[in-house]
Amino acid sequence: MLRKFSVSGYKNFNNETILDLTKVGKYEFNKECITDGLLGKVLLMGANASGKSNLGYAIFDIVYTLTDKPPCVWQVDAQSFINGDGNSKIAVFRYEFQMDGAVINYEYRKTAPHKLAYEKMSMDGNVIIEFDHTKNDLISGDLSLISSEKLRLGKVDGSLSVIRFIANNTPQKESSPISFIMDFVNRMLYYKTTQDGNMYIGLERVAENIEPYLIRNGLVGGFEKFLKENAGLDIKFEIVKYPGMPHSMVQKLKHKSIGFPVNASSGTKALELFYYWSRRFENVSFLFLDEFDAFYHFELAEKIVRFLMNYTKMQVILTSHNTSIVTNRVMRPDCYLQIKEGRISSFSESTDRELREGHNLEKMLRNGEFNE
């Protein structure tokens, strides 16, 4: 699991911005928000342009760095990649992972979206590899910690991560931190609730249309049930075949049927996208769902959060502007985070008051209680 992440010199993060998922409070309610002693379900809030989406892009830069999954266009935009307010020409990404009882640290630095300058990985303080891409030089490390065979790195171009090179070219020990990280990163998923289609990072290599996926996998009835149970929508579908066309999903009305994408509201389309990805949640290690409730009624937003609580092994970060879901009915003060001027802090650490289950967090938020 991810314990901590920090970034600096990237997009609107000039100075180091830290996301610390180890800051777990001593609350006895909504314990399903905590997984293996870490914050497992988090709601991130912040003003427009505070960096919520950019934080997601930053966290998921590791997917672009270590895998062949296609990046989001905003991740690889060379003009905006390096922060424009500071003097540094390097973006620094630091990840701290938890593997059973071990702590794995992975840091890399980039001068451009596709160009690495430096990498370092350690486990429990022992350096596994430290590599200077600008000189193609192995600085230090004990590679025997990850492989029983002698490693021959050869020339590793700055466009290729040395960690990825090792993972793809050498047999790994069963307890290898590289194998752990590669597995975790390959199962990360970012997606954004917009009306611009299925915009995502990670998990899948190729995007697919949602309706054909539901039809092909026999999930149309499951989608009907999902809409009924979570949104109270009693929508019936049927699958039709027009000459020369693939099977289509249409909505059955009283006197006629109509194509679902044509008739569906923005909220229903957002639910369809959520349902599509939810079929993969059992395999997801880390989910960043940006603007998750942009088209939801506040009661539906709360139900979606509760739905996500069922996936106990998946870490989740949701971003939102919706203060109505800031309640101890749903989460807890240590799981509500705010980002402001490059600093991320939880409600519980943003006030001197001892927050209890009975406190009205939304009212306190609106009254400026958590403005540091």
**Cα(285)–Cα(314) distance, integer angstroms:** 5
Average pLDDT for 226-233: 94
Between 127 and 207, name the one with better pLDDT: 127
For 2-204+280-366, which CATH class? alpha beta
pLDDT reading at 356 higher than 90: yes
Q: Where are the domains of the chain?
A: 2-204+280-366, 212-266
Between the alpha carbon of residue 309 and those of residues 86, 112, 160, 303, 331, the distances in Å are 40, 37, 37, 10, 10
Q: Is 127 exposed, middle or buried (0-12, 13-18, 19+ CB in 10 A)?
A: middle
**324: confidence class by pLDDT, cuts 50, 70, 90:** very high
Higher pLDDT, 288 or 210: 288
143 versus 252: the higher-pLDDT residue is 252
Angle at which helices 177-186 and 162-169 cross, to 10°: 100
What is the pLDDT at residue 331? 97
| pLDDT, mean of residues 197-222 | 88
Global model pTM greater than 0.85 = yes
Predicted pLDDT at 209: 86
Categorize the per-residue pLDDT at 261 as very low, low, confident or very high, splitting at 50, 70 and 90. confident
**What pLDDT was estimated at residue 253?**
87
Does 318 score more than 80 pLDDT?
Answer: yes
Given this model, what pLDDT does residue 3 score? 98
pLDDT higher than 70, residue 43: yes
Residue 255, pLDDT score: 87
In the prediction, which pLDDT does 143 show? Answer: 76
Q: pLDDT digits over 122-136, tens only?
A: 999 999 999 999 988
Give the rounded percent of residues in the chain with a pLDDT score beyond 70.
96
The predicted structure's pLDDT at residue 152: 65
Question: pLDDT tens for residues 55-107?
Answer: 999 999 999 999 999 888 888 999 999 999 999 999 999 999 999 989 999 99
Sign of the CA dihedral running 225, 230, 232, 235: negative
Over 80: is that where the pLDDT of 299 sits?
A: yes
Indicate whether 181 pLDDT > 60: yes
Distances (CA, A) of 153 to 163, 164, 258, 328: 10, 11, 59, 52
- Residue 19's beta-bridge partner residues? 5
Q: What is the mean pLDDT of the chain?
A: 91
Q: What is the pLDDT of residue 99?
A: 95
Cα 334 from Cα 316, distance rounded (Å):
14
pLDDT of residue 184 exceeding 90: yes
